[in-house]
Amino acid sequence: MTFNAVLDGLKSYEAGKPIELVVREYGIAPEAVVKLASNENPKGCSPKVLQAIKEEASRASLYPDDSMYELKEGLAKRFNVSSNQVIIGAGSDQVISFALHAKANPSKGVVMAGVTFAMYEIYGRQTGASIYKTPSATHDLNELRELLKTHEGEIGVLFLCLPNNPLGECLDSEDVIEFINEVDSDILVVVDGAYQEYASFKDSKKALQVDSLVDKFPNVLYLGTFSKAYGLGGMRCGYGIAQPRLISTLHKLRPPFNITTLSLRAGVEALRDEQFVNDCLKENFEQMKRYEEEANRLGFDFIQSYTNFITLQFPQSKKASQIAQTLLEQGIIVRDLSAYGMNALRVTIGTQKQNDRFFEAFKRAYN
């Protein structure tokens, strides 16, 4: 059997190791495993959301409201836009797929930072598009400008991950607006704000005003998710915000009932509990300081993070892959970035107790 040629050599996305796998391979009790690899909210989701999911469970046999009216209205209010400017996806990565299938093709390529969310490239290659990355790992606007100039007329989609996953850095919003002003209006600019709640909490200069952003630029699609700050990774609920014409076009690619009845209810309730999210953001950055202090104490680098994770960069004498393996054998799951050509680990910021476990294990792994 033959398959579409664009699938030749296309790599699958590699998710973080699940707790169940570590339990099976290393014989560690489930309660002793600490997962700090997938940037989930270590506090879980709001208790109010959990209660709402339980109440909605009796409706699991019913298809969800495909208009997604209540969730769209909640997001419209949250971002001061109209509900016809919102599209819902099974995670924001599904909306990424919609965007690429709308604009990328064998004659229209995709531009992104040197190291960024892997699904941009994977979905892009599925369309047959060429992928263009900056030489630098982190976002460099001058390098992006050069790529756009070099491939003028050949680009369909440009990705800006703000803050960037898997590294954690974030551009100032003023610089982003200035840059987008220069981009050809026929290029779809996808601004991925999966971690924007964290960035805007830490530094107002990083905060994107979504309503003014999409109002100013008809070619901008803003992405958000309930998987990170809201603690709903398992519900697979994300969204895109743009001008109505762009959103209506993306809806042509959306399958019916693409998120669940429970996911819809969870998203609606999550938006209502702002205090829970703010408490999580505050604790996240308090605990992140411990990682920064440990890096300074031991003399290795880290990338200033505006997310719920931190990238630790090691000298060549210390191999990140070996450190990750030693941590894994102690029941601590982190993300090894060796596949990105970096001698680094990405570590989700856990609870105080989880971070205590990490540092205890890290002493043995690093020495």
pLDDT at 2: 74
At 142-174, the pLDDT tens digits run 999 999 999 999 999 999 999 999 999 999 999
Please list, in sequence order, all residues whose beta carbon lies within 8 angstroms of the beta carbon of residue 153, skipping any fewer than 6 positions away: none
CA atoms within 13 A on the CB side of 211: 9
Between CA 87 and CA 29 the distance in angstroms is: 41
Burial 53-75 (b: 16+ CB within 10 A, else e): beebeeeeeeebeeebeebbebb
Whether the CB-CB separation of 17 and 328 falls below 8 Å is answered with: yes
In degrees and rounded to multiples of 5, residue 189 shows phi and psi of -100, 110
At 94-122, the pLDDT tens digits run 999 999 999 999 999 999 999 999 999 99
- Between helix 274-298 and helix 352-366 the angle, nearest 10°, is 20
Q: Beta strand 238-241 with 301-303: parallel, antiparallel or unpaired?
A: unpaired
Give the long-range contacts of residues 146-149, CB within 8 A, separation 24 or more: 147/111, 148/111, 148/183, 148/184, 148/187
Helix H segments across 204-260? 210-216, 244-251
Give every residue of the chain whose pLDDT is below 70, as ranges: 13-17, 22-23, 26
